[in-house]
């Protein structure tokens, strides 16, 4: 394996511990968010329920922006999902959910094989997720019976939430890097 490939795909203890810390912090953030989202949904407010869904992409965005390494977003998402499992009514599906959200954060970088780390790529993954998630979750949220304005609000809430959470993740990662953590 060439030196460049080894550097790109090598996994250090520091990298793994940083991913673990970000995943645990993400899981601690997502545990109450999971319950809040469930309560809002049970109260018949799907558009409000998805207004916080961007939080699920936040840990992966922070990891990708801070570490700039392949698959760290996915690893952090899986760890966050494992943290949530004992506190979630969804059990191990929380791991699948978190991994799938993290995959969208990782996707723009995967497309270019992690050769470029541009800021707009974070937003591209969030925008795709903000459009795709409402489509795939349409039946789960029973949006077909909702009025048109509620359906539009459902899409807008999801998209805005993903974009705002991505902006927050970029800000957090940049501040943490300025404090001396992560890749320079």
| pLDDT tens track for 6-32 | 555 678 888 999 999 999 999 999 999
Q: Is 92 part of any domain?
A: yes
Q: Is 183 part of any domain?
A: no
In which domain, by residue range, is 137 found? 3-178
Q: Is 184 part of any domain?
A: no
Strand, helix or coil at 168?
helix
pLDDT band with cut points at 50, 70 and 90 for residue 131: very high
pLDDT band with cut points at 50, 70 and 90 for residue 3: low
pTM above 0.85, yes or no: yes
Percent of the chain with pLDDT over 90: 71
3 state SS for 63-123: HHHHHCCCCHHHHHHHHHHHHHHHHCCCCCHHHHHHHHHHHHHHHHHHHCCCCCCCHHHHH
What average pLDDT is seen over the chain?
90
Which pLDDT tens digit goes with each residue over 144-164?
A: 888 899 889 999 999 999 999
Q: How many domains does the chain have?
A: 1
Burial class (CB in 10 A: 0-12, 13-18, 19+), 180: exposed
Judge whether residue 2 has pLDDT over 80. no
Residues 6+ apart with CB under 8 A from 51: 157, 160, 161
Return the pLDDT at 8.
57
Return the pLDDT at 9.
60
CATH code of residue 152: 1.10.1760
């Amino acid at each position: 394996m060439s030196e460049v490939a080894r550097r790109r795909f090598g996994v250090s203890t520091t990298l793994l511990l940083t991913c673990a810390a970000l995943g645990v912090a993400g899981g601690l953030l997502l545990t109450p968010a999971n319950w809040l989202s469930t309560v809002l949904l049970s109260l018949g407010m799907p558009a409000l329920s998805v207004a916080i869904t961007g939080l699920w992409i936040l840990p992966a965005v922070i990891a990708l922006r801070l570490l700039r390494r392949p698959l760290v977003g996915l690893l952090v998402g899986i760890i966050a999902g494992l943290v949530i499992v004992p506190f979630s009514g969804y059990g191990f599906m929380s791991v699948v959910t978190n991994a799938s959200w993290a995959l969208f954060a990782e996707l723009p970088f995967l497309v270019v094989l992690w050769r470029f780390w541009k800021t707009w790529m974070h937003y591209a993954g969030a925008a795709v997720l903000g459009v795709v998630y409402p489509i795939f979750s349409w039946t789960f949220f029973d949006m077909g019976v909702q009025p048109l304005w509620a359906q539009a609000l459902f899409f807008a809430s999801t998209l805005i939430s993903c974009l705002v959470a991505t902006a927050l993740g970029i800000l957090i990662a940049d501040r943490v890097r300025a404090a001396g953590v992560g890749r320079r």
